[in-house]
């Protein structure tokens, strides 16, 4: 395999080529948060389903504005209505149905009530304070597109239709494997040269946010046979196998050879910092093909690799465009830097001043410095062979969205 550094865009295109969307399943809406719709949902109701009042006040016909009117009925939200008697008004509350014959509502603060009559001001127009039937959703229209991720407002919208179940994509099954004899699980004591596994919980959280289900986690000893064995087991269970570490050029880096012996390595070594030794491949499985993503061991390299490669891969399997690409925000840099042959994905905080957004880079951008990721709102993309001075425009990939 050609071991020249691959541009990120090329690697991403190769990764996503031929990714099949997963099958779908029916789930109760109460359990559908974060899931991706497998088919469009059509509206079966107008929302609102009747013209109703946006205010607590009085409903009338606008030709009667400016006069003292008898109050002929009282309409609370949920109560039945009678046609409005000519030349009268109705006491009405927010959400109450507009009675036939009325065409506007005046808020109560503008009305002078004496006994069972109300003096309404003259400057009232037809339609004032009326929320029209179907204003939010028209029956028969597309309520939510296929590929929508069901977050707060979408879940509310489904409930607004009285819908209780939806067809969603199955969650991608992911096996998350850690390599490195020096890596120890929290709860155990550390020996000389050892460190705790910070990549696993970090990636678990990211992967869960992207919408997967984790079917296996394991630590692989630095041994070729063991690496092959655990990878084979993981590939038989998962749609995606993710490893961390063991993809560089050291004598103890056994992951690539194991993937090559079980399937194929499509790509290795990207023109990216951090994350250069990232490896992509596939391993055949009884019922299809498992995608392999080998993230470098340095925690920041794993973090950045997950956002740039795992998220789009998961998004493609789910058929969710919002997960396939990250929102891009143009911002001014408030730092200087220059790059060599690799694009630099710098962790930045986005701040705003009168001139718009600016990107403040974390001081230490080394790939082992995980603290640079904690406050990061975005990754500022500095293309290869470029020089950035304060005030220059940089493209930032937004990391804070739900989808
Ligand atoms: N001679 C060369 N050496 C290295 C190169 C190179 O091109 N030539 N590339 C460097 C780059 S860039 C990276 S990135 C690393 C990645 O190497 P690996 O993916 O093989 O990762 P490891 O060597 O296993 O680990 C790297 C580093 O990260 C720590 N680590 C690993 N796993 C975890 C974990 N789960 N939690 C926390 N920390 C972890 C590990 O202890 C190492 O310090 O290779 C460079 N070397
Ligand atoms: O490319 Mo490595 O991820 O810089 O440290």
- 257 within domain boundaries: yes
**Ligand 2 atom with least separation from CA of 367:** 5
Q: Where are the beta strands (DSSP E) in 191-263?
A: 195-196, 213-220, 240-244
pLDDT confidence of residue 251: 81
How does pLDDT run along the chain (403 residues), one tens digit per residue?
555 899 999 999 999 999 999 999 999 999 999 999 999 999 999 999 999 999 999 999 999 999 999 999 999 999 999 999 999 999 999 999 999 999 999 999 999 999 999 999 999 999 999 999 999 999 999 999 999 999 999 999 999 999 999 999 999 999 999 999 999 999 999 999 999 999 999 999 999 999 999 999 999 999 999 999 999 999 999 999 999 999 988 787 899 999 999 999 999 999 999 999 999 999 999 999 999 999 999 999 999 999 999 999 999 999 999 999 999 999 999 999 999 999 999 999 999 999 999 999 999 999 999 999 999 999 999 999 999 999 999 999 999 987 7
| Cβ–Cβ < 8 Å for 48, 110 | no
pLDDT score at 402 = 76
Classified as helix, coil or strand, 381 is: strand
**DSSP-based three-state secondary structure for 175:** strand
For residue 202, being part of any structural domain is answered with yes
Q: Is 141 among the domain residues? A: no
Specify the CATH number for the domain of residue 374.
2.40.340.10
Please state the length of the chain. Answer: 403
**Alpha helix stretches (DSSP H) within 285-367:** 299-305, 311-318, 321-324
8 A C-beta contact, residue 105 and residue 61: no
Q: Residue 249: inside a domain, yes or no?
A: yes
Predicted local confidence at residue 55, as pLDDT: 98
Write the CA distances from 262 to 230, 249, 250, integer angstroms.
Answer: 11, 20, 21
Counting ligands in written order, the one closest to the CA of 297 is 1
Q: List residues bridging with 176 in a β-sheet.
A: 217, 242
* Residue 3 included in any domain: no
| Ligand 1 lined by 217 (C-beta under 6 Å) | no
If asked whether residues 36 and 165 sit together in one domain, one would say yes
CB distance 282 to 292 below 8 Å = yes
Instruction: From 291, 35, 301, 37, select the one nearest 146 (Cα to Cα).
Output: 37
> Which residues sit opposite 179 in a β-bridge?
220
208 within a domain of the structure (yes/no):
yes
User: Is residue 278 domain-shared with residue 299, that is, in the same domain?
Assistant: yes
- 325, 312 in Cβ contact below 8 A? yes
Tell me the C-alpha distance between 106 and 36, whole Å. 43
Residue 366 lies in a domain: yes
Tell me the C-alpha distance between 164 and 169, whole Å: 17
Q: What is the pLDDT of residue 231?
A: 98
Q: Which residue owns the Cα nearest ligand 1 atom 46?
A: 248
Residue nearest to atom 40 of ligand 1 (CA): 297
For residue 257, give the nearest of 212, 227, 235, 285 by alpha carbon: 227
Do both 37 and 165 map to the same domain?
yes
User: What φ, ψ does residue 32 adopt, rounded to 5°?
Assistant: -100, 5
Instruction: Quote the ligand 2 centre to 273 CA distance (angstroms).
Output: 5
Ligand 2 site: residues with CB under 6 angstroms?
Answer: 273-276, 296, 298, 301, 367
In this structure, are residues 262 and 240 in contact, taking their beta carbons and an 8 Å threshold?
no
> What are residue 92's DSSP bridge partners?
57, 75
Contact 297 CB / ligand 1 (< 6 Å): yes
Asked if residue 142 belongs to a domain, the reply is no
Q: Both 178 and 318 in a single domain?
A: yes
CA of residue 265 relative to chain centroid, distance: 29
Which residue, chain included where needed, has tokens 């694009």? 343
Number of domains in the chain: 4
Residues 184 and 308 in one domain: yes
Residues 316 and 208 in one domain: yes
Check whether residue 30 and residue 18 sit in a common domain: no
Q: What is the DSSP string of 73-94?
A: EEE-TT----PPPTT-EEEE-T
Which residue range forms the structural domain that includes residue 302? 8-22+171-324
Evaluate: CB of 180 within 6 angstroms of ligand 1.
yes
CA–CA distance, 243 with 228 (Å, rounded to integer)? 12
Beta-bridge partner residues of 350:
359
Ligand 1 nearest-atom number relative to CA 294: 19
Q: Residue 294: CB within 6 Å of ligand 1?
A: no
Phi, psi dihedral angles at 133 (to 5 degrees): -50, 135
Whether 214 and 276 share a structural domain: yes
Q: Is the CB of 333 under 6 A from ligand 1?
A: no
* 255 Cβ closer than 6 Å to some ligand 1 atom: no
ipTM surpassing 0.90: yes
Check residue 1 and give its pLDDT: 53
């Amino acid at each position: 395999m050609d071991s020249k550094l691959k541009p990120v865009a090329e690697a991403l295109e190769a990764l996503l080529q031929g990714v099949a969307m997963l099958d779908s399943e029916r789930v109760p809406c109460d359990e559908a948060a974060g899931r991706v719709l497998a088919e469009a949902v059509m509206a079966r109701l107008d929302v609102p389903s009747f013209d109703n009042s946006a205010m607590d006040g009085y409903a009338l016909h606008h030709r009667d504005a400016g006069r003292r009117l008898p109050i002929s009925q009282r309409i609370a939200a949920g109560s039945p209505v009678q046609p409005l008697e000519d030349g009268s008004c109705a006491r009405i509350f927010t959400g109450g149905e507009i009675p036939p014959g009325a065409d506007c509502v005046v808020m109560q603060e503008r009305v002078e009530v004496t006994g069972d009559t109300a003096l309404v001001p003259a400057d009232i127009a037809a339609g004032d304070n009326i929320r029209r039937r179907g204003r939010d959703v028209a029956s028969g229209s597309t309520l939510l597109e296929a590929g929508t991720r069901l977050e707060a407002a979408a879940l509310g919208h489904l409930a607004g239709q009285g819908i209780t179940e939806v067809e969603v994509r199955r969650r991608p099954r992911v096996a998350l494997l850690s390599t490195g004899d020096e890596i120890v699980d929290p709860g155990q004591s550390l020996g000389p040269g050892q460190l705790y596994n910070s990549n696993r919980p970090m990636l678990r959280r990211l992967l869960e946010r992207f919408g997967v289900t984790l079917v296996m986690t394991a630590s692989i000893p630095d041994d070729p046979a063991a690496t092959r064995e655990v990878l084979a087991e993981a590939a038989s269970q998962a749609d995606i196998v993710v490893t961390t570490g063991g993809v560089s050029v050291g004598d103890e880096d056994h992951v690539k050879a194991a993937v090559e012996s079980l399937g194929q390595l499509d790509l290795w070594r990207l023109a990216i910092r951090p994350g250069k030794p990232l490896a992509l491949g596939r391993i055949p499985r009884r019922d299809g093909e498992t995608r392999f993503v080998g993230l470098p061991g340095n925690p920041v390299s794993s973090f950045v690799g997950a956002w740039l490669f795992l998220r789009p891969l998961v998004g493609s399997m789910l058929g969710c465009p919002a997960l396939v690409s990250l929102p891009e925000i143009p911002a001014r840099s408030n730092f200087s830097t220059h790059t060599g042959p690799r694009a630099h994905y710098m962790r930045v905080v986005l701040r705003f001043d009168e001139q718009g957004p600016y990107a403040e880079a974390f001081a230490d951008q080394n790939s082992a410095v995980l603290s640079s990721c904690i406050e990061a709102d975005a990754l500022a993309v500095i293309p290869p062979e470029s020089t950035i001075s304060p005030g220059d425009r940089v493209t930032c990939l937004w990391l804070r969205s739900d989808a």
